[in-house]
Amino acid sequence: MTEDVLFPAKEYADRLAALRHRMEAAGVEVALLDEIEAMTWISGYGSSLNRWRCVVVPLDAEPFFLIRALDAAPCRQRTWIKDIPTYRDWEDPMPALASALAGRGLSGARIGLDFNSYAMSVRRFAQLKAALPEAELVDIGPVVNELRLIKSPAEIAILRRSAAVADEALRRAAAACVPGGTQRDAARIAVSTYVELGADPSPAGPISAGSGWDFLHGHLSDAPLSRGDVVHIELTPRIAGYSARIMRCVTLGPPTPALAAAAETLIALQDEQIAALRPGARAHDVDAILREGVIRSGLRPGYDNITGYTLGLYAPQTPRTSDFTRILHPGADWTVEAGMVFHIYASAGGASISETVLVREDGPELLTRFPRGLIVNEIGN
């Protein structure tokens, strides 16, 4: 392995063994992974979809990484996989894949892939079938996403660092919310803080002014801020792709009594919800604490969004800004497990609050540690 590989060899060996266990249970001889997160998790490297690429994991042979020739050198720097067949930019990658499989005696293999992969379009799937007429293509679903749910100690260590960056970036971005400043100023400072503190260059996250509950993903505005404004800041820093998340509201001047009361109620309910994130808890029960509590309080007539989702590895080129492999909602029929990490978030009455939460054997731990409450920027009259 090269010195640029992020995790020790045993970490990747354990991941490979876990994947092969799932492959064996599904009755497939080969797994084909083409989503960036899945490729990166199993191999240490992922690249954009400018040209299709994949990691191929046979059940009983060494994996290989099919990639365009231009990206082979960066791939070799980051991956433990030694076998890296390539193709030229103007060539069709499917014949190259077929040739690589044939050379390894796998042309007629039962190949498992995620039929919901964002990298596998209808046309590409047809090309794959045409290139591998003797193979059987079967859906094994989001196997790697499910394996990624339980974080290793090494992954948790990175998420702790990412959470610390989130805390400090929030402090600095919130301080920029002053009369005459803009939301863009807060975003610029957040991104600068990410890079300064060792996180990946990446978008700040949603920053917007709003009221009610559905303002979380509003647009960044260049309009000057003024006294009485409330700025929602959600920061999503990543270190080596691993993202922690936090959100708070910043008031320019004292908050209205209604906003202060909404924030107090929301935080109390979320505290109770976070306390329930323990191994063995049923997801819908955890969700109900906040969802039903907010509705009972009168802050919202209904609750149309989820109250939390899993966190972990995000690639910079992914089309998904959040990992919804496990989400908290009324029909969530799954069990909380130690090693899971969640973004637990809530919004109502113009207030918003969120944390990055690790589920340990003995209960939840907040990885983000910024004081829980409205951020009030005192300004003169």
Q: What is the pLDDT of residue 215?
A: 58
Amino acid at 86: T
Q: What is the pLDDT of residue 316?
A: 85
Q: How far is CA 196 from CA 165, 168, 190, 275, in A?
A: 9, 11, 10, 33
Q: What is the pLDDT of residue 216?
A: 62
Q: What is the pLDDT of residue 209?
A: 82
* CATH among 3.30.360.10, 3.40.640.10, 3.40.350.10, 3.40.50.300 for 9-147: 3.40.350.10
Can you tell me the distance from the alpha carbon of 327 to that of 324, in angstroms, rounded to the nearest whole number?
6
Q: What is the pLDDT of residue 268?
A: 98
The model's pTM:
0.94
HSE-CB for 257 with a 13 A CA cutoff: 0
Q: What DSSP string describes 102-157?
A: HHTT-TT-EEEE-TT-TT--HHHHHHHHHH-TTSEEEE--SHHHHHTTS--HHHHH
Amino acid at 247: M
Q: What is the pLDDT of residue 260?
A: 97
Q: Residue ranges per domain, the chain?
A: 9-147, 153-377
Q: Which residues of the chain have pLDDT under 50?
A: 1
Domain 153-377, architecture per CATH: Alpha-Beta Complex (3.90)
Q: Map tokens 């910043």 to a residue.
A: 250
Can you tell me the distance from the alpha carbon of 324 to that of 64, in angstroms, rounded to the nearest whole number?
28
Q: Which residues pair with 65 in a beta bridge?
A: 55
